[in-house]
A and B are shown apart, each in its own frame.
Chain A
Amino acid sequence: MATSQGFQKDPIFLATTGFAVVFAIILAIGYAMQSRVAESGDYRLTTNAVEQWLSSGNAADARAALSAMQKGGNVRVADKTLELPELNKFLSPDSFDAASLASSLNNGVNDDAIAKAKQLNQIVSAKDQKRKSLASTMLIVGAVVTLLLYFALMIPMFARRKGEEETQVVTKSETEGIMNTVSEGLFLLGNDHQIGVEQSASLKRMFKLERDLEGDFFDFISDYVTQENVRVAKDYLDLLFGDRVKEKLVEDLNPLNNVEISLVRRDGQYESRYLDFRFKRVMVDGAISHLLGSVSDVTRQVELEKQLIQTKEEQEAQVDLLMSILHIDSDRLQTFIRNSSETLDEINERLSERGHSDGQIRSKLVDVMSNAHRLKGDAAALGLHKFEFGAHDFEEELETIRRGESSLTGKDLLPAITKLRTLYTEMDSMTELIGKFSEAMNAKGDSSVKFAADLDASIGGANSVETEDSAKTEDASLTSELENLDSEIESDLDALSDSEIVNDMDANIESNSFSVDMNSANESTAENAGNEDANDHGIEDSIRAITATVGQRNDTPVELKLNGLGAGNLPSELVEVVNDSLIQLVRNSIVHAYEGGDKRRSMDKKEELSIKVNFEQADDGYRLIYRDDGKGLDSKLIAEKAVSSKLLSAKAAEKMDKSKIIKLLFHPGFSTLDEATLDGGRGVGLDVVLKRVKEHNGTISISSGRGRFSQFTIRFPRSN
């Protein structure tokens, strides 16, 4: 306390000074009294004393003598004049020579008078003494009292001071103890934004520093938080320092209660911690002198909270995923996972191959797009909508990039890679989930496939199948000359090279005179009809499901008839290609071939689009016959679309014959819809079909009657 208020204001100092002054005054008074007594006179005679002395004598003379003495003159007593010095002699305190006085006075001085003179002298002396002793007594008493008072007052003060000092020492060590131990980072902030010297030990630890913090607070935290945070903090602290805003209100505004700080680790990467900064105003004499800052590390709480939210979200996602896969046959699911993972890797592989010129990138895009499309189809077939949509997004992105006019660079593919990453992530979730539940699923023992989708009443089981007997329309087949389509991707798309493609189309493709006789109930297949173990491959259910889904999505009622797809008839090595092909064909039929209920009714067709699938064994192999009764293939429309999709110049289109035009359907990048929907429009499906069929050394034939039907016949040789 002494130090903070300055030496002059120290109470003890003031008190001591005060007492010293009083003491001095008393001394002075005492001394003054004494000396006055000494001066004025041992020889002072008061009127009373003289009268007393001479009461029996000559009062008048006594008076005269007195006054004369007082005036310093002579005394005339009787008829004798005594001069003062002489008189003084007789009146000295030390010796009263009565005899001498008597003889000098020589006149009636009697014993009585002498006695009275003696008395007088005593009285005077006594009074003198009294005065002297009074003076000294007063001095002494005064001094003693002063001293006593001084001590009386000072001792408690000293004691208190001592006590305070001790308390201060105790307080200081207690404070130190607190500051060293408290887990919060405490510090003071001045108006000038400087960090105070007194800090708790944990403050620097929160920032992984060895030394206490110093300097400007905002400069300091700029190293740990974003500039945005610093700005907001400045505004906030200014509000706190200003007195316009009430403390309670200000507390609500604290923007720093969960601020993320970034600490650099050894390996140069960042580590996040969360700190809670709180500031309180420190008031001194009714004004804001400082802010008390208190920092707590709330990382654990924040992370727990985040984890909680994340776990919740994950659980929800898992439940959703689970719901969507519960109905899927476990084998098919495994197959899907395996294939799709491979496909994703294939896509990634292809992308990672060397080559980043415009042409090379476009080539990669095309390849990857086919894969993506297949992924989408597979996912859709199993009802895995999340993955299907993810694959669709990916595909869309690729298409958008491909449509770009300017020269492509690797950078342009970045958005697509992002979507690919999402697919990988989703694949992981699925795999993880399935891993958890595959045991449960197997234990269940029920590997039958029950689709949640309601099948339209019009989609029945396998029964009578119509096959055409028009051999003439089937002999021709698209051979591997369709390969040329692939090479055309790289080069000028305007000219389709001549090929030996034998056209299976009748020249009358445009007229309605396409003769197709459909017989009902081909005996050879009847025994297989309806009896096969439809669940061995699950392919029938898969196709039914996709038909239902796509049909519903496009508001298209479908009557689906499947025959010959059971395990006994369909060899297992062909299951995939048949499945994939049918998926594409069904989608294309629904999206492109359906004319709409009204139109169909006006043409005397049933409202439902009729799709018939027959798989049969033949001498040279197998045949998959797919037929829909939709609007058929229109080569003019196809040509137009090829031109607008920039696959073909208008001139080339004019020159091209119908069979070649039809071939364009199998060209990647072809689309007869303006807008790509989830199901159709990308036109990529058939090229995939072609590719897969070729892988099995198969061939594809197409026949069509405008306004009446489209038919695809896929032939596979026996494999032995």
Chain B
Amino acid sequence: MNEENLSVFVDYVTNYFTTVSKEDAQVGTPYLIKDINTNLYDYTGIIGISGNFKGSVFFTAPKTMLVHLLSELGLLSSHDNKVMDLVGEISNTISGNARREFGEQFMLSVPIVLKGKSEDLGVMQSANIYLIPIVWRRFKANLIINLGE
């Protein structure tokens, strides 16, 4: 898994929004971060990528955005369960797509969903984790990609 694959992951996310809501999401300017935790929103889907112990992809979104998305899917709810389900669903979609495209070369785990922050996620020495903002309606989600090392 290397830099060339970043763009593909971004596409999976934007495709999801477009498909589900018929409204495109925009990609904000990517930049680098050291600390994943401080860049997480309310709910996060985590996908592990093989080979690299710390290689992972995070899709993290605020509750409000997720609730809006839920309503697009016909579900008027702001229940924790439903919201977490949705995040899991989005992450599953990303993971599934990636598995289809890269599955030959490396493995992608079944995503887990995190609410809030996590102690397991440490801080890097220096900014080398990619953060790509995703903007949909007036909400912002983050696609965070850690290639480890």
Instruction: Establish whether A and B are touching in the complex (CB under 8 Å).
Output: yes
Chain A residues engaging chain B, CB cutoff 8 angstroms: 225-228, 260, 262, 264-265, 267-272, 348, 351-356, 361, 364, 409-411, 413-415, 417-418, 420-421, 424-425, 427-428
Q: How far does the Cβ of B54 sit from chain A's closest Cβ, in whole Å?
A: 7
- Beyond A262-B109, A414-B6, 16 additional contacts (C-beta under 8 Å) are A226-B107, A268-B46, A269-B46, A269-B56, A272-B53, A351-B30, A356-B29, A356-B135, A410-B29, A410-B133, A411-B30, A414-B3, A424-B127, A424-B128, A425-B126, A428-B126
A267 to B46, CA, bound (A): 8
Q: How far does the Cβ of B77 sit from chain A's closest Cβ, in whole Å?
A: 25
From A225, A268, A414, A424, B10 is in contact (CB under 8 Å) with A414
Chain B residues engaging chain A, CB cutoff 8 angstroms: 3, 6-7, 10-11, 26-32, 46-56, 103-107, 109-112, 118, 120, 125-128, 130-133, 135
A417 to B49, CA, bound (A): 21
Specify the chain B residue showing the minimal Cβ separation from A262: B50
A228 to B28, CA, bound (A): 36
From B103, B109, B126, B135, A264 is in contact (CB under 8 Å) with B109
17 pairs across A/B with beta carbons < 8 Å? A226-B50, A226-B107, A262-B107, A264-B109, A267-B46, A268-B46, A269-B53, A270-B52, A351-B31, A352-B131, A356-B28, A411-B7, A411-B27, A414-B7, A417-B30, A417-B31, A421-B32
Do the beta carbons of B109 and A428 come within 8 Å of each other? no
Do the beta carbons of A421 and B56 come within 8 Å of each other? no
Q: A361-B29, A410-B30 are in contact. Are A421 and B130 (CB under 8 A)?
A: yes
* B131: A residues at CB distance < 8 A: 352
A415 to B4, CA, bound (A): 8
Specify the chain B residue showing the minimal Cβ separation from A351: B31
Do the beta carbons of B112 and A270 come within 8 Å of each other? no
Do the beta carbons of B32 and A417 come within 8 Å of each other? yes
From B27, B31, B51, B126, A260 is in contact (CB under 8 Å) with B51
Do the beta carbons of A271 and B29 come within 8 Å of each other? no
Specify the chain A residue showing the minimal Cβ separation from B113: A268
Do the beta carbons of A427 and B46 come within 8 Å of each other? no
Specify the chain A residue showing the minimal Cβ separation from B11: A411
Q: How far does the Cβ of A319 sit from chain B's closest Cβ, in whole Å?
A: 21
Secondary structure at the A interface, as helix, strand, loop or mixed, is: helix
A348 to B31, CA, bound (A): 6
From B6, B10, B11, B55, A270 is in contact (CB under 8 Å) with B55
10 smallest A-B Cβ distances: which pairs? Answer: A268-B112, A410-B27, A269-B48, A262-B50, A352-B31, A270-B48, A418-B3, A351-B31, A356-B28, A411-B27
Do the beta carbons of B126 and A226 come within 8 Å of each other? no
Q: How far does the Cβ of B119 sit from chain A's closest Cβ, in whole Å?
A: 10
Do the beta carbons of B47 and A268 come within 8 Å of each other? yes
* A427: B residues at CB distance < 8 A: 126
Do the beta carbons of A420 and B32 come within 8 Å of each other? yes
* B27: A residues at CB distance < 8 A: 356, 409-411
Do the beta carbons of A421 and B127 come within 8 Å of each other? yes
